[in-house]
A = this chain, B = another copy of it.
Amino acid sequence: MQFGVNYVPRKNWFYSWNALDKKAIEEDYEAIAGIGLDHIRIFPLWHIIQPNPALISPQAIDDLLYVIDAAHAKGLRVTVDIFQGHLSSFDFLPSWVLSWHKRNIFTDPFVIQAQEKLIRTLAKECAHRDMIDGLSLGNEIIQFAADRHPHKMDLSIEQAEKWLDGHRRIAKEEFPHGEFTFSYDDDLLFDSQQPFTPELALRYSDSITIHSWIFGIVGPHWGKDHEVLGYFTRYLLEIVNAWQKELGVNKSLWLQEVGAPRNYLSAGSVVPFVEKTIIQASQIPNLNRITWWCSHDVSRKLSDFPEVEYDLGLFTEHGEIKPEGEWIRDWIHAGCPKETHSPKEKIFIDIPSVHDYHLRHELRADGHIFKQWVDAINHGCEPELRVRR
């Protein structure tokens, strides 16, 4: 198992892209590598790296390469997420797609051309660096096409596919040995209106990414500290595998984001949740990478983050390791042990086909499928999700 973190700079969060503090970054990496983590995912801000459609900031590229090379120096592998886009409740679209320049970031040919330019530039730079695993496309960028977004952009499934396919081609042209992934949130699995469908994600991503957040539906529905919360990540992974099976593919899974949000976990529940989440997820044979969200707490000196976003680090804002960081450190040091199980009775649970994207809501954690699945586990059985015929 590869285990890493989404790197949130301890000093000045992602605002640090405007004014890199190299010493602080190196200290952060020291801490990250020091507990046995082997990779990071990093997030250049789109409006800083490409302030104008025709300008990819040389300074921002230099900064990005520094952030990569400094990670390398500590033995950390890196995935670069290309478009942010969105981070921790804040949207960071460049001025040339907003307001008077309002443009659809998925369909406007002018925007797509500019995005291609950025992907090509980053892919070229990354292709020369051994410690880069690959490029990931847009942190939870699908939310800009979600009904829940305050400025939703219209998008059809066909257009979503064109966008994803086109950008993947560019990345592969310049960085053929790099892994190309697509960084969607769980709307992809649960929102029947979301034009990015599971099928697209499975087809156009080299490994399949999962973002597992209990504050979305499972926490609000089942309640704080509920025992089911620790099963949620495994459930997501099993859904994806059921669909892979349906399509006859078996790509590896990357748990690209998972964290322990305090709005649904009391202090005493955090470590048990982390343990349960990781141990349950580890049962999935093709899961080979976990990237915790996140490395460092957001400084309390910064304001306006949703309360839950402040406390997601494995380290505090002062760089001290937190109990969940200690648990993960110890688990990695022990060789990422999995639980061994005696054989159990299998219970099959039907889920909608990957092609029935309009039925995705049935899979939500407040629905009957999740409940059946959890009940099976609680009854000592082995549930298996399978696509209904």
Chain A interface (Cβ < 8 Å from any Cβ of B): 12-13, 15, 18-19, 47-48, 51-55, 57-60, 89-92, 95-96, 98-102, 110, 149-151, 301-304
Contacts and interface: CB of A to CB of B under 8 A. Distances in A.
B12 A55 contact: yes
Contacts of A95: 90-92
Contacts of A151: 99
Given A90-B96, A90-B100, A54 B18 contact: no
B101 A52 contact: no
A293 B263 CA distance: 51
Tell which of A96, A150, A304 has the most Cβ of chain B within 10 Å.
A304
Contacts of A58: 19
Contacts of A47: 47
B99 A18 contact: no
Given A90-B96, A91-B95, 13 more contacts: A15-B51, A18-B60, A19-B59, A19-B60, A47-B47, A52-B303, A53-B304, A54-B304, A89-B100, A90-B100, A90-B101, A99-B151, A100-B150
Contacts of A13: 52
Task: List the 3 closest A-B pairs by CB distance, nearest first.
Answer: A19-B59, A54-B303, A91-B99
Given A51-B18, A52-B13, A90-B101, A96 B57 contact: no
A147 to B, nearest CB: 14
Given A95-B92, A99-B91, A150-B102, A302 B52 contact: yes
A111 to B, nearest CB: 10
A6 B102 CA distance: 26
A350 B18 CA distance: 53
A101 B304 contact: yes
Contacts of A89: 100-101
B18 A59 contact: yes
A51 B48 CA distance: 12
A91 B100 contact: yes
A54 B89 CA distance: 16
19 contacts: A15-B51, A18-B48, A18-B57, A18-B59, A19-B57, A19-B59, A52-B302, A52-B303, A53-B303, A54-B303, A54-B304, A89-B101, A90-B100, A91-B95, A99-B149, A99-B150, A100-B150, A101-B304, A102-B150
A65 B299 CA distance: 26
A18 B16 CA distance: 11
Contacts of A304: 52-54, 96, 101, 110
A303 B113 CA distance: 12
Contacts of A102: 150
A187 B381 CA distance: 70
Contacts of A60: 18-19
B15 A57 contact: yes
Nearest to A94: B90
Given A19-B58, A60-B18, A91 B98 contact: yes
A18 B98 CA distance: 19
A118 to B, nearest CB: 13
Contacts of A59: 18-19
B15 A18 contact: no
Nearest to A114: B303
A299 B52 CA distance: 12
Tell which of A51, A96, A100 has the most Cβ of chain B within 10 Å.
A51
A139 to B, nearest CB: 14
Tell which of A15, A47, A102, A149 has the most Cβ of chain B within 10 Å.
A15
Contacts of A302: 52, 54-55
A303 to B, nearest CB: 4
